[in-house]
Amino acid sequence: MAIIRLAAIVIAIEALFYVLLSYYLRSLRRERLEEEWAERHPAEPGDSPERDEFVRRSMHDFHRTLRSRLVALVFVLPTLAIFVIAYLVNNR
């Protein structure tokens, strides 16, 4: 029963970190895209439909990048570390 509680707690914490980290990375990317738009189009400051479309298309492409996929390691690495530690402790 203890292992089930541990697994539930670990998954909940990993999910929280996954959401926070992915939100943070998306916000950084969105900010860079908005700055890039401002540099390319200095005569069009502020929000515009073209800028929103540029950011939307670029963010869609961002979800396919390696960086966004590496965030999934938040689930894999801690779980793997816990299993390895539990194995090493129980087999000594």
The model's pTM: 0.74
- What are the pLDDT digits (tens) for 15-58? 898 889 888 988 999 999 999 998 988 887 777 888 889 889 98
Pull the structure tokens for residue 74. Answer: 């938040």
Classify residue 42 by its DSSP letter: T
Whether pLDDT at 8 is above 80: yes
Q: Check if the beta carbon of residue 18 is closer than 8 Å to that of residue 71.
A: yes
Q: Check if the beta carbon of residue 51 is closer than 8 Å to that of residue 44.
A: yes
Classify residue 48 by its DSSP letter: -
DSSP labels, 32-68: HHHHHHHHH-TTS-S--HHHHHHHHHHHHHHTTSHHH
Q: From CA 2, how far away is CA 12, in angstroms rounded?
A: 15
